């Protein structure tokens, strides 16, 4: 039913590519984008690569009113020998469908979308920057487009993929961040949409973010929405702690995003024979471990930073300084291994990378 031959309309008006590694996140876009439409009777159809340009949508389009939308985020990396690699993109497409299911959006054919994605990145490969630490950020997203104010799933959708060259996450080397443990606001609750990459989860976090920034802190550590005790995740990253030799990360409870970096770190630790557990962990337990001198390392994980070490946690005015505010040796080893695999300088023993 769904047609799969992709049409390509080339952009004749090429933009200038970034000339240095200082590329602001998400502000520059490439010359082309991918678009595909969904209608109930046709399914997903008309896959196409077209010049990057603004959209025309009806003001009643459902995306503007009830937020029926999902997104993904991954990166394409240039290796030293000039190949372009994606890191576990199949997991991103699997998660796109998982998010879509939660938002009542029809699923896509993951294998076909993978082909389209590769085709788009191949066409735009000169946009994958080669400066150290840079990459091409890949942002697939789906929006409900039906012009209707009815509170019901849209009957039409657009899947689009846009590409954006990005600079290194850490300018001038990895720097541990200070994080505020959020007591007032909630990001997500079990049964809600926390496990989906959907717009509302992010705009509803801005107030807590602003509070942290005002205190000079970089981000927010979220606690569970019911008891305000159990640790969930940090900003748009999953969180790990090394406590007395064991690595602990909150179990996927339904309100936490299933990070692909998180998954990869768990797999690496298991291979290395380092104890790792996915379980509930309360902020009280963490503080106790800290007071006993057992909280050895803490780090956030996600596509953007890969590993973002936490140097300090602020919980109701109580400060926990972790590893003297320096990156821990395990955090560093995980960072070096994953970024090495992504950039082709460490052997990919797990078959995680896909060459474009
Ligand atoms: C995207 C995201 C993550 C990290 O997922 P990765 O697949 O590792 O990039 C973690 N938490 C939230 C809320 C996110 O949106």
> Is the CB of 124 within 6 Å of ligand 1?
no
| Residue among 25, 219, 238 whose CB has most ligand 1 atoms within 8 A, to mutate | 238
How far away, in angstroms, is 106 Cα from ligand 1 center? 22
| Residue among 26, 72, 73 whose CB has most ligand 1 atoms within 8 A, to mutate | 73
- In order along its 356 residues, the chain shows pLDDT tens digits of 445 689 999 999 999 999 988 898 999 999 999 999 999 999 999 999 999 999 999 999 999 999 999 999 999 999 999 999 999 999 999 999 999 999 999 999 999 999 999 999 999 999 999 998 999 999 999 999 999 999 999 999 999 999 999 998 888 788 899 999 999 999 999 999 999 999 999 999 999 999 999 999 999 999 999 999 999 999 899 999 999 999 999 999 899 999 999 999 999 999 999 999 999 999 999 999 999 999 999 999 999 999 999 999 999 999 999 999 999 999 999 999 999 999 999 999 999 999 99
How far away, in angstroms, is 258 Cα from ligand 1 center? 7
> What are the structural domains, with CATH classification, of the chain?
7-166 (3.30.470.10), 177-342 (3.20.10.10)
- 245 Cβ contact list (under 8 Å, min separation 6): 275, 296
**CA nearest ligand 1 atom 10, residue:** 237
Count of C-beta atoms within a 10 Å radius of residue 182: 23
What does the block give as tokens for 259? Answer: 């990070």
| Residue among 92, 303, 334, 341 whose CB has most ligand 1 atoms within 8 A, to mutate | 303
Using alpha carbons, select from 276, 170, 181 the residue that is nearest to residue 219.
Answer: 181
Would you state the pLDDT for residue 68? 98
8 A C-beta contact, residue 99 and residue 196: yes
- 82 Cβ contact list (under 8 Å, min separation 6): 130
> Is the CB of 197 within 6 Å of ligand 1?
yes
Atom in ligand 1 nearest the alpha carbon of residue 262? 8
Atom in ligand 1 nearest the alpha carbon of residue 303? 9
Would you state the pLDDT for residue 1? 44
8 A C-beta contact, residue 39 and residue 160: no
> Is the CB of 73 within 6 Å of ligand 1?
yes
> Is the CB of 75 within 6 Å of ligand 1?
no
What would you report as the CA-atom Rg of the chain, rounded to the nearest whole angstrom?
Answer: 21
How far away, in angstroms, is 5 Cα from ligand 1 center? 31
Taking each helix axis as running N to C, give the angle between helix 329-342 and helix 260-272, from 0 to 180 degrees, rounded to the nearest 10: 110
Would you state the pLDDT for residue 169? 87
Q: What is the dihedral of CA 274, 287, 316, 209, to 10 degrees?
A: 0
Taking each helix axis as running N to C, give the angle between helix 89-102 and helix 260-272, from 0 to 180 degrees, rounded to the nearest 10: 130
Whole-number Å distance between alpha carbons of 274 and 330: 10
> Is the CB of 180 within 6 Å of ligand 1?
no
Cα–Cα separations (whole angstroms), residue 317 to 214, 232, 233, 295 = 14, 20, 20, 18
8 A C-beta contact, residue 70 and residue 196: yes
> Is the CB of 261 within 6 Å of ligand 1?
yes
Would you state the pLDDT for residue 166? 96
Q: How far is CA 102 from the centre of its chain?
A: 17
How far away, in angstroms, is 268 Cα from ligand 1 center? 18
How far away, in angstroms, is 74 Cα from ligand 1 center? 10
Whole-number Å distance between alpha carbons of 1 and 293: 61
- 337 Cβ contact list (under 8 Å, min separation 6): 268, 346
Would you state the pLDDT for residue 21? 87
How far away, in angstroms, is 8 Cα from ligand 1 center? 31
């Amino acid at each position: 039913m769904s047609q799969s031959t992709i049409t390509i309309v080339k952009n004749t008006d090429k933009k200038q590519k970034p000339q240095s590694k200082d590329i602001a996140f998400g502000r520059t876009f490439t010359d082309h984008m991918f678009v595909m439409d969904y209608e109930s009777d046709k399914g997903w159809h008309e896959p196409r690569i077209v010049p990057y340009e603004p959209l025309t949508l009806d003001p009643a389009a459902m995306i503007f009113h009830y937020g029926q939308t999902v997104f993904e985020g991954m990166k394409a990396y240039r290796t030293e020998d000039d190949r372009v690699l994606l890191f576990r993109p199949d997991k991103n497409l699997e998660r796109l469908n998982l998010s879509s299911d939660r938002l009542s959006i029809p699923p896509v054919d993951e294998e076909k979308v993978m082909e389209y994605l590769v085709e788009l990145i191949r066409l735009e490969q000169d946009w994958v920057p080669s400066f150290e630490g840079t990459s091409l950020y890949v942002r697939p997203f789906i929006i409900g487009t039906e012009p209707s104010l009815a509170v019901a799933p849209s009957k039409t959708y657009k899947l689009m993929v846009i590409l954006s060259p990005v600079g290194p996450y850490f300018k001038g080397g990895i720097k541990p961040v200070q994080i505020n443990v959020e007591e007032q606001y909630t990001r997500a609750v079990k049964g809600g949409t926390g496990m989906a990459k959907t717009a509302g989860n992010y705009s509803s976090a801005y107030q807590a973010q602003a509070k942290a920034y005002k205190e000079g802190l970089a981000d927010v550590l979220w606690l569970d929405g019911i008891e305000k005790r159990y640790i969930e995740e940090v900003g748009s990253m999953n969180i790990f702690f090394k406590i007395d030799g064991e690595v602990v990360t909150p179990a996927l409870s339904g309100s936490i995003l299933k990070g692909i970096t998180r998954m990869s770190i768990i797999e690496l630790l298991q291979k290395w024979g380092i104890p790792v557990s996915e379980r509930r962990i309360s902020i009280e337990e963490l503080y106790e471990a800290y007071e006993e001198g057992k909280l050895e390392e803490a780090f956030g994980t996600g596509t953007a930073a890969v590993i973002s070490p936490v140097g300090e946690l602020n919980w109701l005015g109580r400060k926990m300084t972790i590893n003297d505010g320096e990156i821990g040796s395990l955090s560093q080893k995980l960072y070096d291994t994953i970024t090495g695999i992504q950039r082709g300088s460490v052997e990919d023993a797990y078959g995680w990378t896909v060459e474009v």
